[in-house]
Structure 1
Amino acid sequence: MRETTMFRENITENITITTSIIPDIGGDPPRRPTLQEILMAYSEYVWAVNLGTYVFPIIIGLGTIGNVLSFLIMIRRTMIITPTCFYMAILAISDTIILYVDCLRKWVFLMYGEDAWNINTAACRAFYYLSYSSFHYSVWIIVAMTTERFFAIRYPLKFLTVGSMRKTKLACLIILICVLLLNCQFTWSVKITEKGTCVPEENYSNFHKDVMPWIDAVFYSFLPFVILITFNVLIICSFRKAYRRQKTLHGNPTSHKSASHNRSSINHRMTAMLLSVTFTFIIMTAPKTILLCIRNEVFMFLKYNTYDFQEIALYTLITRIADLCIYTNHAINFFLYCVSGQRFRKEMKQLFLCRRSRSASLSLYSSKCPPSSRYQTMQTVSRGSYENDNGLESYHTMRTVSSNLGSNNNENCQDVNEQNERENSL
């Protein structure tokens, strides 16, 4: 049996069959079938293989496109200035690393029988380190994002003094350092054996078998579960109190069109995006968490080190489904933002429409304006207002000041530059 069983690993990948399974009957010993050949006789294992073969690449493809788009939208000038959007941009990077370091590796193993962890000792240690660190980093970014949302809603005035982008970046850095320190033992505690498999060093065998799975489960699942559920309940309660208070002060809030109501509406929509992410994480990681808690009691081959192939096949299928849920969680945030975030959808439209209109306007400008009458623009900051996700007004719009560098201006050039002014002001 494999020497170590991690929280997110399939136990059947490196199981070897002992010589007692197929007795010698004299003469040349028959070729012993591999474990995979034996398990392919069971429908549960066939389903597990097919799910990994056909669903993994779909998750990787959709997740990559979604995470890249999420990152590009979150780093836009009107989005990145808010802590929540900065967290979501970092989350998109971390989720993409998970899909390529862990999900893609398993798909390649299913398709070609080659595991990137088994290339050499350096690859073995690097993949372990990156895989576990990226999983832990993603979930704790969600925890930090949820905590920030709660304090922004519950204590908005105090949050003005402590909730800055500098401290948000510092929080991301601290989480990264803690995650790297938590998993740094992978840089020396695993190795490649003579058979070419990545296994723990002899001195760390018991640690990887008995301790590390629970450390992983606590920091990836149990502790984040408790924190996220607690803060989500507090956020929902805070919104209910704010709704009742607003209804008492202004009557029907849906008909109130004041600036304070508009800020509150933006705040609610931003928080709805976060709640969709956190509840999706809780739901999608629950199967793996439950499996970890009950597997030694339900699957006897894990407890007594026996070879019940029917049970192994069933366990492989259940584990594969749980893995698919986890990888899906790290691939669908973009779609959650689209469904729950009106502001996100607006920024996504502007991301594509503005680039198209800019290229069209530049082409029109070059064709209609003579070289002697082109404009040189200078952008200066002027007072304008928008509402960020904390419901607070900020001033950060741009005004274009144009100076004529030629003496022969025509109406076409004026029209083109007026259009450029409107686009720059966005």
Structure 2
Amino acid sequence: MAGTPSPLYALNVSGMAGVTTSLDTTMDNDDDLYSVMTPEELSETENLFAAALVINKYYLWVLFALGFPGNCAAMVTIFRMRSIGTFPVFVVLLAVMDSLALLVKLLHYQLIVHQVDMGDAGCCILRFLGSWTSAYSSWILVFMALERFAAVRFPLKMTMHSGCNAHKVVMVLVVVGVVIALIYMPLLWTNETVTAATLQCQYKADYARFMNGVYYWVLAALYAFLPFCLLTVFNFMIARQIRSSLKVRSVMRNIKLLPVSQNCHDNSLQRQRPHRNLHAIQTQVNLMLLAATGCFVLLTFPICIYMLTEPYWSTAQGYTHSNAVKFLLRQLAFVFVDSTHAVNFYLYFLTARRFRHHFLRLLACRSCTCSIKSACHQAWHGSDQSELEDL
């Protein structure tokens, strides 16, 4: 018999309450399970449950401690760089949604763990916000990759219309956010708080069959499957296009030019410098994009596998070895996928020299005393003019 898919595909909170309850009641009242489990199996089951519960209890705190400051730092750095174009729009909006996703998930988890009665309205709102922010951040990355592919495939056209494209990108992202919100809208009236052995937030009985059936696969595709597949394709296409562009540039660089006068040579160098600067900027942006999307693909792969197999993965409920294995694998899958909301700033910092340079300068200026803040301000505004332009 196929198992029932967990309704909390994006919010990993039901596992803690459900498994803790089964642990307490089974160990106290059901001695039959011990008669069919060897001491080795019992010990291994205990260790698996203990490891899963520790992960479930602390991993969101760790991700929030790393991700929330990192996302804020990414937004401040981009704003201080006074960047133009479309890529900063994606970076800022992605940082905002990642921060909200971590905040809502952690809040929802803490309310469930501490058995705070949030009411049906609170249950619905938190599950909607947590699921929507998670899915929306994934699709921001998808459109970020799409924009980068267009930039490397049609660089001149994207450069000529960068200001117009920025406004179009904002409008497209607003529409995408609204569409995703509409798809997740049923979560606002299909959930309720239930108090049995513990207080839990789950689907209402009238909607449970539909929500755990067709709707489960719709949201699974929107949340994980489609972003995973699209980003895999876009990353391959972007890498291939960059490789082709590098070959062309290498050929052009090796072409021997006819001798020219000194004045013509100087004018040629002046004309080439902006193009070199633009190429350097695009290289930094491409590195940031490939790092973020590549990491997303790797970290999302486990949850895709788990969500595909969960409806058909039947396990004996309660304090059993199979249930312990499934619960542990669920925690690991959610650790990976929730990490996508916390790692982008560190990927930008490691891969983009210009982003790293501006962030370190921001820290240096923030640590300046009042007597040298003016010098810091001058260094910030003056030296940027002599360097390559920002993203």
TM-score by length of 1: 0.73
Quick one: which amino acid aligns to residue 250 of structure 1? Answer: R
CA change 1:240–1:295 in 2 (3 A) is same
CA shift digits 1:127-182 (9 cap, x unpaired)? 11101100011001111111111111111233233752211221221122112111
Q: 2:360 aligns with which of 335, 349, 352?
A: 349
Distance of 2:111 and 2:49 partners within structure 1: 17
Distance of 1:211 and 1:39 partners within structure 2: 38
Q: 2:202 aligns with which of 199, 204, 224?
A: 199
CA change 1:48–1:245 in 2 (3 A) is same
Match of 2:64 in 1: 60
> Are 1:178 and 2:179 matched, yes or no?
yes
CA change 1:87–1:21 in 2 (3 A) is closer
Say whether the 8 Å CA contact 1:133–1:180 is kept in structure 2.
yes
CA change 1:295–1:31 in 2 (3 A) is closer
Distance of 2:186 and 2:245 partners within structure 1: 47
> Are 1:285 and 2:286 matched, yes or no?
no
Alignment map for 1:204-223 (pairs within 5 Å): 204-223=207-226
Say whether the 8 Å CA contact 1:4–1:200 is kept in structure 2.
no
Say whether the 8 Å CA contact 2:317–2:323 is kept in structure 1.
no
Deviation at 1:107, TM superposition (A): 5.7
Say whether the 8 Å CA contact 1:4–1:205 is kept in structure 2.
no
CA shift digits 1:42-100 (9 cap, x unpaired)? 11010111223344322211111111111111222522x23111211111111111112
Q: 1:316 aligns with which of 316, 319, 327?
A: 327
Corresponding pairs, count: 349
CA change 1:193–1:54 in 2 (3 A) is closer
Deviation at 1:352, TM superposition (A): 2.5
Quick one: which amino acid aligns to residue 360 of structure 1? Answer: S
CA shift digits 1:206-239 (9 cap, x unpaired)? 1221123212220121111221112111111111
Q: Which has the larger radius of gyration?
A: 1
Deviation at 1:300, TM superposition (A): 2.3
CA change 1:306–1:185 in 2 (3 A) is same
CA change 1:264–1:115 in 2 (3 A) is farther
CA change 1:354–1:168 in 2 (3 A) is farther
Match of 1:131 in 2: 130
Q: 2:371 aligns with which of 348, 360, 369?
A: 360
CA change 1:212–1:164 in 2 (3 A) is same
Alignment map for 1:126-165 (pairs within 5 Å): 126-159=125-158, 160-161=160-161, 164-165=165-166
Quick one: which amino acid aligns to residue 149 of structure 2? Answer: F
Deviation at 1:358, TM superposition (A): 8.2
Match of 2:39 in 1: none
> Are 1:43 and 2:54 matched, yes or no?
no
Distance of 2:202 and 2:282 partners within structure 1: 49
CA change 1:115–1:90 in 2 (3 A) is farther
CA change 1:97–1:4 in 2 (3 A) is same
Distance of 2:168 and 2:387 partners within structure 1: 24
> Are 1:238 and 2:241 matched, yes or no?
yes
CA change 1:289–1:3 in 2 (3 A) is closer
> Are 1:5 and 2:7 matched, yes or no?
yes
Match of 2:314 in 1: 300
Deviation at 1:265, TM superposition (A): 2.1
Report SS of the residue matched to 1:192: strand
Distance of 1:307 and 1:357 partners within structure 2: 58
CA shift digits 1:232-268 (9 cap, x unpaired)? 111111111111111111129xxx9844233212211
Quick one: which amino acid aligns to residue 331 of structure 2? Answer: R
Quick one: which amino acid aligns to residue 155 of structure 2? Answer: P
Q: 1:69 aligns with which of 61, 67, 73?
A: 73
Quick one: which amino acid aligns to residue 44 of structure 1? Answer: L
Quick one: which amino acid aligns to residue 61 of structure 2? Answer: P
57-66 or 243-252, which deviates more: 243-252
CA shift digits 1:364-415 (9 cap, x unpaired)? 9xxxxxxxxxxxxxx9xxx9995354xxxxxxxxxxxxxxxxxxxxxxxxxx
* Cα RMSD after superposing both structures: 3.4
Distance of 1:120 and 1:197 partners within structure 2: 10
Distance of 1:192 and 1:273 partners within structure 2: 42
> Are 1:262 and 2:277 matched, yes or no?
yes
Match of 1:335 in 2: 346
Distance of 2:279 and 2:120 partners within structure 1: 54
> Are 1:95 and 2:98 matched, yes or no?
yes
Distance of 2:364 and 2:108 partners within structure 1: 37
Deviation at 1:295, TM superposition (A): 3.2
Q: RCO greater where, 1 or 2, for CA within 8 Å and sep 6 or more?
A: 2
Say whether the 8 Å CA contact 1:128–1:186 is kept in structure 2.
yes
Gaps in structure 2 of 5+ consecutive residues? 34-41, 256-268, 376-380
Deviation at 1:313, TM superposition (A): 1.0
Distance of 2:336 and 2:170 partners within structure 1: 29
Distance of 1:85 and 1:216 partners within structure 2: 28
Distance of 1:3 and 1:220 partners within structure 2: 15
CA change 1:41–1:108 in 2 (3 A) is farther
